Amino acid sequence: MSVVDIKTKAQFDELVKKTPYVALQAHAVWCGPCKAISPFFGKFATSLSVPEKYTFARFDTDEVPDLAFELGVRSIPAFFFFEKGDKTSDLTGPKPPVLQKSLEDLSTKAKAGGDAVSLKSDSGSGAHL
């Protein structure tokens, strides 16, 4: 499954409402670290997503500023993880190993349909807005 491009906050709201598990990437076309990490996010979307249970999505912070504001994006790339409509953790910066673990943990939960694994927040440096 490919990454869903979010173009409006309403589209995002609908996605987290109907999909139990969502991994969201905040990025911008001008962001070098975003360009570096995006292929990893796309690869994991293909291998880890679960139809109708676990979706990978991304949005450009310049195109959907109201969503960036709501999520408190201050540095990109940033990743947000949602379970049953609630943001459960986030990750800032291009950190492939940490991103992979977070995405795999959420995939495990989606496949199990429960809360078998706990995610934790990790902040770091990325491109600042």
Distance in Å from the first CA to the final CA of the chain: 30
- Helices 32-48 & 96-112, crossing angle to 10 degrees? 30
Active-site choice (23, 24, 31, 67): 31
Pairing of strands 86-92, 4-6: unpaired
**Dihedral pair phi/psi, residue 16, rounded to 5°:** -70, -20
Residue 34 is among the residues annotated as catalytic for this protein: yes
Catalytic residue among 34, 68, 73, 103, which?
34
92 tagged catalytic: no
Catalytic residues: 31, 34
